Structure 1
Amino acid sequence: MSIKSKIALPFAKAIRKQVYRWANNPIETQEKVFQYLIKNAKTTAFGKDHNFENIKNYEDFKKQVPVNDYEGIRAYVDRIVAGESDVLWKGRPLYYAKTSGTTSGAKYIPITKESMPTHIKAARNALLFYIAETGDASFVDGKMMFLQGSPVLSDLKGVKLGRLSGIAAHYVPSYLQKNRLPSWETNCIEDWETKVNAVVEETVNEDMSVISGIPSWVQMYFEKLQEKTGKTIAELFPKFNFFVYGGVNFEPYKSKFESLIGKKIDYVELYPASEGFIAYQDSQTEKGMLLQLNSGIFYEFIPADQFFEENPPRLSIGEVQLGVNYVIILNTTAGLWGYNIGDTVEFTTLAPYRIKVTGRIKHFISAFGEHVIGKEVEKALNDAIIETDVTVSEFTVAPQVTPENGLPYHEWFIEFENEPKDMEAFAAKIDKSMQEQNIYYLDLITGSVLRPLVVTKVKKGGFHEYMKSIGKFGGQNKIPQLSDNRKIADVLQNFKA
Structure 2
Amino acid sequence: MSGDEFIERTLAAYERQRTRCRDPRPVTEEVFADLLGQARDTVFGRDHGLRSVRTPADLAAAVPVRGYEGFRGYVERIRAGEDRVLTVSRPYALHTTSGTSGRPKYVPTTRHWRDRYRGPALYAQWGLYFQRLGLTSYRPGNVFDMSWERGRSDDVWAAPVEGLPVYSITKRPSSVGPHDWAPPWYSERWFTAAPVERPLYTRLRLLAGSDVRLVVAVNPSRIAALGELLNEELPYLLKDLRDGTVNGRTDPLTRPDPRTAARLEAAQSFGGRVTLTDLWPGLSLVVCWNSASARYYRGWLDQIAPGVPLIPFSTTGTEGIVTLPVDSHTSAGPLAVDQGLYEFVPCDPDDLGAPLSESVTTCGPEELEHGATYRLVMSQANGLYRYDTGDIYRVVGRVGRLPRLDFEGRGGSVTSFTGEKLTESDVHAAIRSAVGHASVRGGYSVVPVWGRPPGYTLVMERREVGTAVHAEQFCAHVDAELARLNTEYEEKRSSGRLSPLSVLVVERGTFQALAERRVSLGASAAQVKHRWLHTDETLLRELDAYLTRD
TM-score range, shorter chain: 0.7 to 0.9
Residues 66-215 of structure 1 aligned to structure 2 (within 5 Å): 66-101=64-99, 103=101, 105-117=103-115, 118-132=117-131, 134=132, 136-137=134-135, 140-141=138-139, 142-147=141-146, 148-152=148-152, 154=156, 157=162, 159-167=164-172, 170-171=175-176, 176-177=184-185, 180=188, 182-186=190-194, 189=195, 191=196, 193-213=197-217, 214-215=219-220
Distance 1:82 1:381, change over 3 A: same
Distance 1:179 1:328, change over 3 A: same
Distance 1:207 1:273, change over 3 A: same
Aligned counterpart, 1:369: 419
Deviates more, 1:222-231 or 1:324-333: 222-231
Tell me, yes or no, if the aligned pair for 1:76 and 1:87 is still in contact at 8 Å: yes
* Of 277, 283, 286, the match for 1:234: 277
Residues 376-391 of structure 1 aligned to structure 2 (within 5 Å): 376-377=425-426, 380=429, 384=433, 388=437, 390-391=439-440
Distance 1:98 1:265, change over 3 A: same
* Of 434, 450, 453, the match for 2:485: 434
Aligned counterpart, 1:349: 397
Tell me the matched-pair count: 480
Q: What SS does the aligned partner of 1:222 have?
A: helix
Kindly indicate whether residue 295 of structure 2 is the aligned counterpart of residue 251 of structure 1.
yes
Kindly indicate whether residue 99 of structure 2 is the aligned counterpart of residue 53 of structure 1.
no
Aligned counterpart, 2:380: 332
Cα offset, 1:335, TM superposition: 1.0
1:413 maps to a residue whose letter is V
Q: What SS does the aligned partner of 2:287 have?
A: strand
Tell me, yes or no, if the aligned pair for 1:76 and 1:88 is still in contact at 8 Å: yes
Tell me, yes or no, if the aligned pair for 2:17 and 2:326 is still in contact at 8 Å: no
For normalisation by structure 1, the TM-score amounts to 0.81
* Of 453, 459, 468, the match for 1:413: 459
Identical aligned residues as a percent:
20
Aligned counterpart, 1:300: 343
Distance 1:7 1:166, change over 3 A: closer
| Deviation by residue 1:335-391 (Cα, 9 ceiling, x = unmatched) | 1112233432222224432222222224320211233444x3476369749982653
1:175 & 1:53 partners in 2: Cα distance?
Answer: 39
Aligned counterpart, 1:274: 318
2:152 maps to a residue whose letter is V
Deviates more, 1:268-277 or 1:253-262: 253-262
| Deviation by residue 1:451-492 (Cα, 9 ceiling, x = unmatched) | 786665543212134446665776232244433433434655
Distance 1:372 1:54, change over 3 A: farther
Kindly indicate whether residue 470 of structure 2 is the aligned counterpart of residue 462 of structure 1.
no
1:369 & 1:175 partners in 2: Cα distance?
Answer: 48
Tell me, yes or no, if the aligned pair for 2:152 and 2:173 is still in contact at 8 Å: no
Residue ranges of structure 2 left out of the alignment (5+ in a row): 236-263, 265-273
For normalisation by structure 2, the TM-score amounts to 0.74
Distance 1:7 1:178, change over 3 A: closer
Aligned counterpart, 1:482: 533
Residue ranges of structure 1 left out of the alignment (5+ in a row): none
Deviates more, 1:204-213 or 1:410-419: 410-419
Aligned counterpart, 1:264: 308
1:95 maps to a residue whose letter is A
1:250 maps to a residue whose letter is A
Tell me, yes or no, if the aligned pair for 2:482 and 2:489 is still in contact at 8 Å: no
Q: What SS does the aligned partner of 1:63 have?
A: helix
Q: What SS does the aligned partner of 1:94 have?
A: strand
